[in-house]
Structure 1
Amino acid sequence: MDTPPLLASTPLSFVMPHFESAVLSNGTPVYIVPSATKDVLTITFAMRHGACHDDVPGETCLTLEMLKQGTERHTAREFNEEVESRGCWIRCAADHDISTVQVTGLGEWFDDVTDLMADCVLRPRFDAEELDKLRARSVADMMIDLSDVDWLASRAATQGAFTTHPYARPREGTPASLGAITVDNLRKVHRQLLAAPRWIIVAGPVEPQKAVKRLETLFSALQPSGQPQPMPPAVKSRALGIVASNEGALQTSFRIILPGLPMGHPDYAAAQLLTNVLGGFTLARLFTILREEKGYTYGAYASPMVRPLDASIVISTSVGNEFTADTIATIAQEVSRLGSQRIDEDELENARQHIVGSFARSCETPQQTAWLLHTIVNYELPFDYFEQYVRRVQELAPDDLLPVQSTLFSTSSWVVGAAGVTALVESAISPFVGSVSHWDRKGFERP
């Protein structure tokens, strides 16, 4: 494969934008990214409790969604009208590890939006009728997902890679598990959320002392955070294929999970560069071969999936049924090549400049700086982490990458999730894995 011409090369000297920090009287850390010249205000209330802690799969995600469906003072309709009348937006969501409530609006509405945030975080209504409505919508969405080969491949790969670890479970639960969730479950999860370690990040046109004073007024009644519930690190399967069947599918979708490195690892920057070389942008190997040269797909990508308990690299693409066998063979060839052969200078430089350029565009606004801060706090990284990361990305040479290449990129350590016509998919992936099994649909039976 010929190396594309070099992207424009401009060294980036990154310095973490200014922010201020404080601690509320109950020990809650607050980080503020002030910007007098911007109109938009964003406040994030994060809690270190996620779907990994579920007793009933889906209960944390459902609880977060229900925070917006009415409070002690307002019905669901009244609360949404209060939010809309101020031109703001509230997002409540949980992943496997943390839960966040985020409000975005104009800075002039600071007192109002913080009041709305506190209302849904501290005093949710948890109305049984609203729970039934939300549950019905969620189950309907899941039934639609069952015919989506991309969703099926993702579920198959995750189940195969993480087996009995909580990461193997869908964070939203299943139709069966959602049917078992009651208002009592929501109230239990809400208590756990408020007891979990937490932090608040404010970004936008706000005076830091005023922000801290307002947050102290609203949230100081919360008890000091307890210790996070310990969770085991994820141990992934190896050389395994998982097939999710869709006999009417016209395409095969692949989700392939390789080992990755955590953000705090000394070789994390090297892993990012290598992932970018493989499939991180339009000049990357998988994209160039599978789309530009062979015309099998609109896109083929590799991206990091880093979480507190695991780090992985995920390869994803979808191709017509007739291209299934050659696609997995091509991906296997490129993974093996990356794991064993030195990268040339020009290819590395293109991957480097894509990372540097993308990063430069990701820290232009207070909200983007707030996201960097959120990442630092969530992964317990030093506050100069991204300065070190950008510097390291620009220092690495091809020979520096060889030990990481051989460690991460091997078909002997991957898990191949594939969805489509069973016999076609199984025969295609079998030569590249040690064993093949089938996605367990338990819990997804139609109610």
Structure 2
Amino acid sequence: MLDRTKAPETYEIDAVNIQIAEVTSLSNGARMHVIKSETQPVVRLDFVFKAGKWYEDKKGVSDLAAKMLLEGSLNHTAKQIADKVAFYGASFESSNGYDRTEYTLYCLAKYTTELLPLVLDILQNPAFPEEEFNHLKQRTSQSLKVQRQKNNYLSTHSFTQQVYGSQHPYTFGFDDGVLEAVTKEEVEAFYRNRFISQELEVFACGAIDDVLQRYLQLEIEKLRIQPATGSALSIEHKIKSATEKTKLVSIEDSLQSSIRVGARMPHISHPDYQPLLVLNEILGGYFGSRLMRNIREDKGYTYGIYSVISSKEEDSLFYVGTDVNYAVTDNTIDEILKEIKLLQEEEIPEEELQTVKNYMLGKFLNDLNTIFDQCDRYKRIVLFNLEQEHYNNYVTTIRTITAPRLKQLAKDYLNTEEFYTAIAGRRS
């Protein structure tokens, strides 16, 4: 009988086993990654194109292009697409990011053969109907106007402009009027140049047997989208950081100020990247972090404050974010810088460090519960061109990182004189 007076035993995490996909290079230039699991009779298919903001020559084009494919193909209207997906109890949606555009299908494994031809038709034969494009642009522009009324949207937009420059693709959000200026012809041209099969990565995971795997390979090989220019485009972007370190987006009569403070960090492939994740966790990465204890619990300035290291394929960005009453704006920034200075001057107590280590390891394992979670981790390895041991190295880093090492990292990378600060609202 279970003795409930005794706590369960705990074990050290030595390594993690993330399923590695079977990779097939298809005749059309695409690659298919298959991760099998019979736990649930569900399949997820991710079609990932190098068609994110990084590759656009006009802001807003990639976002509208990603959405337009769902507005109708040469063989199906938008309503027919939605009705068929709903009929089979499936989900099909697009996601436009900084580096990639992705289309994801969730469905029962037995309905994959019914839905895959529809998906391939959408990807290969978009119709770009004029009326739907105008409606889409109107809806998206209206949504943007609503977002631009929010302080946190404006502060993040302003902060990333300071760090990267107003025209850089890693700048968050859009200025007013950007989407209205995009034409249907520009969206079609972006599709023809960037949605190409030679650079397509397909990730298939779930209840996939040998018969379904063969079917996927044969059907996806039929997807042949050639770039209009004859070859894939290679694009580089220069970073044009602002000279002024602090920027205020003044919002008259605003009772709150949204604050962003931070700077660029090493790329995800850099040896210091994973140790910096531990340092960030201590500073503001979880509910018990130093920023939460100081600024939320002790000072009562905010309901929540966080720090994050956001990784893209070409760069990484660290920042602290919070919303506070405008009267304590400057005090909050002072406290943020104070906590960073403490990390540079004092070693983290062993008990605090061990708590963070346990939290990070537990959360990491929890995030590997399903086959879809594992596929997401594997996909990150592929898209960021990381080594296969990336996550085992992550576990080792968490387990072995020391307080002196973290103190040195704070000195090396959290140079507050180089930080940018963006405030949307009012200052005290």
Structure 1 and Structure 2 fold alike (TM over 0.5) = yes
Matches within 5 A, 1:391-410: 391-410=396-415
* Distance (Å, rounded) in 2 between the aligned partners of 1:170 and 1:302: 17
Residue by residue, what CA displacement relative to the aligned partner does 1:349-394 show, whole Å, maximum 9, x if unpaired? Answer: 1221221111101111111111111111111011221122112221
Partner of 2:345: 340
Assess, with a 3 A threshold, how the Cα gap between structure 1 residues 396 and 355 changes in structure 2: closer, same or farther.
same
* Distance (Å, rounded) in 2 between the aligned partners of 1:134 and 1:259: 34
Report the alpha carbon displacement of residue 239 of structure 1 after superposing the two structures with TM: 6.7
Runs (4+) off by over 6 Å: none
Assess, with a 3 A threshold, how the Cα gap between structure 1 residues 227 and 398 changes in structure 2: closer, same or farther.
farther
Report the alpha carbon displacement of residue 61 of structure 1 after superposing the two structures with TM: 0.6
- Residue identity in the other structure for 1:418: I
Partner of 1:261: 266
8 Å contact kept, 2:45–2:205: yes
Assess, with a 3 A threshold, how the Cα gap between structure 1 residues 48 and 212 changes in structure 2: closer, same or farther.
farther
Partner of 1:184: 185
Matches within 5 A, 1:22-421: 22-164=24-166, 166-167=168-169, 169-170=171-172, 173-195=174-196, 197-208=199-210, 210-222=212-224, 226-227=231-232, 229-232=234-237, 234=239, 236-237=241-242, 240-421=245-426
8 Å contact kept, 2:36–2:205: yes
- Residue identity in the other structure for 2:185: D
Assess, with a 3 A threshold, how the Cα gap between structure 1 residues 227 and 183 changes in structure 2: closer, same or farther.
closer
What secondary structure does 2:70 align onto? coil
8 Å contact kept, 2:25–2:32: yes
What secondary structure does 1:298 align onto? coil
Assess, with a 3 A threshold, how the Cα gap between structure 1 residues 132 and 224 changes in structure 2: closer, same or farther.
closer
Q: Unpaired runs of 5+ in structure 2?
A: 1-8
- Between the aligned residues of both structures, percent identity stands at 21
Report the alpha carbon displacement of residue 167 of structure 1 after superposing the two structures with TM: 3.1
TM-score by length of 2: 0.91
Residue by residue, what CA displacement relative to the aligned partner does 1:395-447 show, whole Å, maximum 9, x if unpaired? Answer: 111122233211111211211111102xx2xxx6xxxxxxxxxxxxxxxxxxx
Count of paired positions: 415
8 Å contact kept, 1:48–1:228: no
Report the alpha carbon displacement of residue 224 of structure 1 after superposing the two structures with TM: 7.5
* Distance (Å, rounded) in 2 between the aligned partners of 1:363 and 1:235: 38
* Distance (Å, rounded) in 1 between the aligned partners of 2:142 and 2:416: 37
TM-score by length of 1: 0.87
What secondary structure does 2:302 align onto? coil
* Distance (Å, rounded) in 1 between the aligned partners of 2:399 and 2:240: 31
Assess, with a 3 A threshold, how the Cα gap between structure 1 residues 31 and 208 changes in structure 2: closer, same or farther.
farther
8 Å contact kept, 2:161–2:171: yes
Q: Unpaired runs of 5+ in structure 1?
A: 1-7, 429-447
Assess, with a 3 A threshold, how the Cα gap between structure 1 residues 208 and 238 changes in structure 2: closer, same or farther.
farther
8 Å contact kept, 1:27–1:224: no
Assess, with a 3 A threshold, how the Cα gap between structure 1 residues 216 and 194 changes in structure 2: closer, same or farther.
farther
* Distance (Å, rounded) in 2 between the aligned partners of 1:10 and 1:409: 34
Partner of 1:439: none
- Residue identity in the other structure for 2:116: T
Report the alpha carbon displacement of residue 209 of structure 1 after superposing the two structures with TM: 5.6
8 Å contact kept, 1:56–1:177: no
Assess, with a 3 A threshold, how the Cα gap between structure 1 residues 314 and 10 changes in structure 2: closer, same or farther.
farther
What secondary structure does 1:254 align onto? strand
